Amino acid sequence: MPPRVSLDTSVLPSAVALHYVMLDTGGNCAVVDSKPNAGSGKIIGDKEGYTSLESADKALKECKAKYKTTAGALPTTIDTVRGIANALDLGKTDQAVGIAKAYVDNLRVNVGNYYWGFAADRLSPEQAEAAVNLFPGIGLFDSPEQGIAKLKVLRQDIEKELALDEANARNNKFSEARVLSARHLILAIGTDEDLEKALANMDTLRAKSEWPDVVKVLTDALEQEAEVKFKAAQAKANQLGGVHKLTRKDIEGLSDEQVKKLRGY
């Protein structure tokens, strides 16, 4: 009978440390040593984690190259709603309105710039305008269900355009720039899961006694800003000799009704 061999467990290797490459909601890539929560970002590359830091670093470089952006991170939908809730909990109504307005202003401008960039080569001006109008604006706050639904459709449309541009990006500088813009917008809008969480939080906000005041102040601020822009565009059109002389930037932020009024129909 062979002698029994005892196993010295003290020399056994400990559990293999795993490294994950995470893309957070602000568009930043990082290596972390624990699996990210669903709300903090998404895992890039190997979903099960990398067993070596070298492999994780390589994936990190690829992530940074793929998700680099042309500007600072846009306010995200979910973070905006959370920020509004925190401000109201602290009794800071003005701050809550400011957070909501920054979200509307920044995302609306970037959605407009993105889609109007297609007007010359892939989408007609009418198609671009229809896509831009998917952005809910104030509707996200006074009609959250419809607003969130519009954001989902908007993100899905951007994802479709992104797929086309990714196929052309290697040989087309315009496509490459739009790829970066699309990824930027997709991160800002958020996943369906992010948007559902935002909607649930909005339902909580609507139960607060100060919420109607927040929506009214925000609506008034956006309408006042749009009226100033409308008058400026109207004056510039008169000075240049026609509405057709205006650029997209001149009418950026105007409502559909204001644009129609400006064009005379």
Give tens-digit pLDDT for 17-67: 788 888 765 556 788 877 876 555 678 888 888 888 888 888 888 877 765
Residue ranges making up the domain that contains 22 = 17-50
- Examine residue 222 and state whether it is found in any structural domain, yes or no: yes
Q: What is the structure's pLDDT at 67?
A: 59
Report the chain's C-alpha Rg in angstroms. Answer: 24
- Of 34, 50, 66, the one marking the end of a domain is 50
Hey, how many other C-beta atoms are within 10 angstroms of the C-beta on 195?
A: 20
Distance CA(132)–CA(9), nearest Å, equals 64
Based on the structure, what is the number of domains in the chain? Answer: 2
Residues 185 and 115 in one domain: yes
Q: Which H or E run contains 110?
A: helix 93-116
Residues 93-117 have a mean pLDDT of 90
- Residue 70's pLDDT is 42
Q: How confident is the model at residue 199 (pLDDT cuts 50, 70, 90)?
A: very high
- Tens digits of residue pLDDT in 144-192: 999 999 999 999 999 999 988 887 766 565 567 788 889 889 999 999 9
* Torsion angle, alpha carbons of 217, 222, 228, 230, to 10: -140
Two tokens, residue 199: 């909607």
What pTM was computed for the model? 0.67
98 and 35 in a single domain? The answer is no
Q: Say if residue 85 is in the same domain as residue 197.
A: yes
